[in-house]
Amino acid sequence: MKRLIAAVAAVASLGGLPSLANAAYALKFQDVTFTIDNVSDYNFTLRIENALDATGNWAAATQIGALGFGNLPKAISGGTMTPGSWGFVDGGLNASGCSGSGASQICFDYLPAGGYAFEADDDMLFNVSVTGAKLGWSSSKLPHLKVQFLNVDNEKQGDLLSRDLPYNDVTVPPEEYVPEPAPIALMGLALAGLALARRRGKEKQAA
């Protein structure tokens, strides 16, 4: 029994067991992967991967002009996003920037000195906090993401992304999304190894 507890503890220390509270919402579109993770009732992260190798009409994208989030409570009254200098707008993102309507939407416009957009990378992680109300996203209320990509000349590049991010259920991953190996799978390997070791020990005693 002690060995079983030790094995479980060792696997858990590799990163912890999956939790629905931290379940990801993920989407892959034009070879760019977008993932949102709930951190708390008022905080979440947005990860954008492979932006510089995007395909389709995002192929020349090098910058991000604005990011929008939807399916949110109307009572959200403010927010911050890092890294970078982003301005919060209580409203939606459209082709012209953070100038759309929508009581359940918020937008972050990049506002550095000189008016340049946020320089894209192949692995970007944004931390977002809101005030006024809890996020409220769940498997039945998906986060809606809008992304405005720009080219090197600060011109709109391709279509504005405007999609719900599918819920990344532990047993049924969303289409086109391949999650990293879950710690729960590692636990299964550890327990299988422990069972094999016990069986060999009993065989030696019988001999």
Answer whether 177's CB lies under 8 Å from 189's CB.
Answer: no
- Percent of the chain clearing pLDDT 90 (strictly above): 59
Span 119-136, average pLDDT = 96
Summary count for the chain: helices (H), strands (E): 2, 13
Q: Is the pLDDT of residue 19 over 50?
A: no
- The Cα-based distances of 114 to 1, 40, 68, 134 in angstroms read 64, 34, 22, 34
Residue closest to 139 by CA, chosen among 23, 52, 33, 60: 23
What does residue 142 show for φ and ψ, rounded to 5 degrees? -80, 145
The more confident residue out of 184 and 154 is 154
Residue-averaged pLDDT of the chain = 80
Span 81-103, average pLDDT = 89
Q: Is the pLDDT of residue 199 over 80?
A: no
Q: Is the pLDDT of residue 121 over 60?
A: yes
pLDDT-based confidence at residue 103 (cuts at 50, 70, 90) = confident
Q: Is the pLDDT of residue 11 over 50?
A: no
Give pTM, 2 decimals: 0.71
pLDDT-based confidence at residue 3 (cuts at 50, 70, 90) = very low
